Amino acid sequence: MSDSALSASSTLAPEQPAVSRRRLILPLALAQFICSFAGSNMNVMITDISADLDTTVKGVQTAITLFLLIMAILMIPCSKLTDRWGRKRCFTLGLTLYGVGALLSAVSPNLGVLILGNSVFEGVGTALLIPPVYILATLWFNDLTSRAWAFGAISGLGGVGAAAGPLIGGLITTGISWRAAFVFQAAVVATIILLSRRLADPLPPDPTRPFDAVGAILSAVGMFCVVFGILQAGTNNVLFAVFLVLGVAFLIGFYLYIRSRERAGKEALLSTGLFKNRTSDLALVTQNIQWLVLMGVSFVVSVFLQTVRGYSAIGTGVVFTAATVGVLVSSFAAGRLAKKYSQRTLIVAGFLVTLAGIGLLLGFVHSSDRVVAFVPGLLLIGLGLGVMLTPSVNVVQSSFPENLQGEISGLSRSVSNLGSTFGTAIAGTILVSVVATGTKSYAIAMIVLGVFGLIGLVAALRLPAKPQRVAS
């Protein structure tokens, strides 16, 4: 982002009337909602999709995980393209690709076409449209309180989309068909495109901005190998080890490469300076684990209810109403909470409540086979995640000046989506492994998610009381 563009942003943003900014947030928040919805709504369709497309739980898990993975590996490169192509253009292009993917998924005759539509087209579309959402919100809202409100609306609807995905997906699948759920996504995307027609990009695109293609390939291959390796755990441990080592090697190579480019005075895909802010680093860890826990719990409970308890799509979806209510209540109180409590306090409280919810899901399900046994735990998880989703994003984005917003937005979204990918991959691998089955595999998966939650809590406790901001 050029100095002239930065100067323009600092004078343009305050001039926008409040009502315009509120209208701007609606399509952005809806975009985050539908992308998060896509990551969790298929969880309740596993039985229906498996039967219709003659595949297995592992096959559907692969489609879900690939969707989340493609989002993660392309988020950073696509965030760099927002400077080169413009935020509005990337947003619209991403929505278009997403809509095409949703329609293709709706008519898919087999798992391969479903993966092409859902995992590839929707995944690439999401990677293009999400970075502009957070960059625009950051540029339009300058102070901590108004930015907390903006991120609260966006992250809140994102959390609602992930939590309500199973409920809405279950209703549509049972009432019509699992294919209709993808038609619903296409309809929402069309609505967002209409709402965003007057969306104005605060900064002009810079077509001369260089793009680091080698860095993009190294980072993408590294993350793909790590997640693919996790998917092989329990079924092919040799591939698990090989791909995990390859993934780590590529990621180390990526870091060394971008560092060498910076030292040579060339623009890298990602600035190594982004990792020198302790506050942001810790907040990124909390972001990753929040989405890991959310998507992991959603997948574990959904698969357990359908394959072990024999619940239908609607029955499974209704169970998640508690989590949806929890996210709604807490996330939309983000603005008021930000005025009363520090960001660190909210993130710590969120992890504590979420861990309590995981504990209840473990304890009650073993002691009761009634559906209400899931309600208290899911409600607490929804409340906890809703409380901390917005503060984590706000801490990361607010730690850097406007000229670094494109990069940090891409990194932030990539880390969050990588968390979603890990959650589905790790939990799913445990559920379909030969090590344990039924209630035992459910318990092991929940314990693992609880351990990750504890890691997130430790990171939150280490956040400084007063966040530091990197100078431009």
Q: Got the DSSP string for 270-297?
A: S-GGGGG-HHHHHHHHHHHHHHHHHHHH
Pair (347, 391) in one structural domain: yes
Residue where a domain terminates, one of 268, 293, 309: 268
User: What integer best gives the mean pLDDT of the chain?
Assistant: 81
Lowest mean pLDDT among 113-127, 177-191, 199-213, 396-410: 396-410
Residue 312 has pLDDT above 80, yes or no: no
CA distance 228 to 223: 9
pLDDT (mean) for 123-136: 87
pLDDT given at position 47? 83
Residue 431 near residue 303, CB atoms below 8 Å = yes
End-to-end CA distance of the chain: 11
Full-model pTM: 0.76
Pair (244, 331) in one structural domain: no
Residue 450 near residue 276, CB atoms below 8 Å = no
Pair (223, 256) in one structural domain: yes
Answer whether residue 5 is part of any domain: no
Could you tell me which of 75, 129, 21 has the C-alpha nearest to residue 408? 75
Could you tell me which of 329, 325, 389 has the C-alpha nearest to residue 158? 389
Answer whether residue 470 is part of any domain: no
Report the percent of the chain where pLDDT is more than 90. 23
pLDDT given at position 15? 43
pLDDT given at position 21? 63
Question: Phi/psi class of residue 320: alpha, beta or left (left: φ > 0; alpha: ψ in -120 to 50)?
Answer: alpha
| Tokens, residue 129 | 């449209």
The answer for residues whose C-beta is within 8 angstroms of residue 451's C-beta and 6 or more apart is none
Residue where a domain terminates, one of 268, 289, 316: 268
- Count CB neighbours of 402 within 10 A: 21
Pair (273, 262) in one structural domain: no
pLDDT (mean) for 393-406: 74
Lowest mean pLDDT among 22-26, 98-102, 301-305, 392-396: 22-26
Residue 17 has pLDDT above 60, yes or no: no
Tell how far CA 257 is from the center of its chain: 27
Answer whether residue 472 is part of any domain: no
CA distance 428 to 430: 5
Residue where a domain terminates, one of 268, 299, 316: 268
CA distance 7 to 413: 25
Pair (182, 222) in one structural domain: no
Cα distances (Å, whole numbers) of residue 196 to 86, 140, 152, 171, 351: 14, 15, 19, 28, 35
The domain that holds 404 is classified in CATH as: 1.20.1250.20
For tokens 């390859």, name the residue: 246
Residue 149 has pLDDT above 90, yes or no: no
Answer whether residue 10 is part of any domain: no
pLDDT tens, position by position, 262-292: 888 888 888 888 888 888 889 999 999 998 9
pLDDT tens, position by position, 235-260: 677 888 898 899 999 999 999 999 99
pLDDT (mean) for 88-92: 90
The residue that leads in pLDDT, 83 or 437, is 83
CA distance 207 to 209: 6
pLDDT given at position 226? 85
Pair (193, 314) in one structural domain: yes
Answer whether residue 402 is part of any domain: yes
- Count CB neighbours of 408 within 10 A: 27
Answer whether residue 119 is part of any domain: yes
Pair (193, 221) in one structural domain: no
Cα distances (Å, whole numbers) of residue 191 to 92, 95, 176: 12, 10, 21
pLDDT (mean) for 411-419: 79
Pair (395, 376) in one structural domain: yes
| Tokens, residue 206 | 């810079």
Domain count, the chain: 2
Pair (119, 240) in one structural domain: no
pLDDT given at position 451? 94
The residue that leads in pLDDT, 21 or 220, is 220
Residue 455 has pLDDT above 90, yes or no: yes
pLDDT given at position 114? 93
Answer whether residue 179 is part of any domain: yes
pLDDT (mean) for 45-50: 86
pLDDT (mean) for 127-143: 80
Pair (414, 440) in one structural domain: yes
Answer whether residue 47 is part of any domain: yes
Question: Phi/psi class of residue 199: alpha, beta or left (left: φ > 0; alpha: ψ in -120 to 50)?
Answer: beta
pLDDT given at position 14? 43
pLDDT given at position 237? 74
The residue that leads in pLDDT, 24 or 31, is 31
Pair (24, 87) in one structural domain: yes
Could you tell me which of 37, 21, 56 has the C-alpha nearest to residue 235? 56
pLDDT tens, position by position, 208-230: 888 888 988 998 899 888 878 87
**Structural domain of 52:** 17-202+269-461
pLDDT given at position 354? 94
Pair (254, 285) in one structural domain: no
The residue that leads in pLDDT, 338 or 193, is 193
| φ, ψ for residue 88, nearest 5 deg | -65, -40
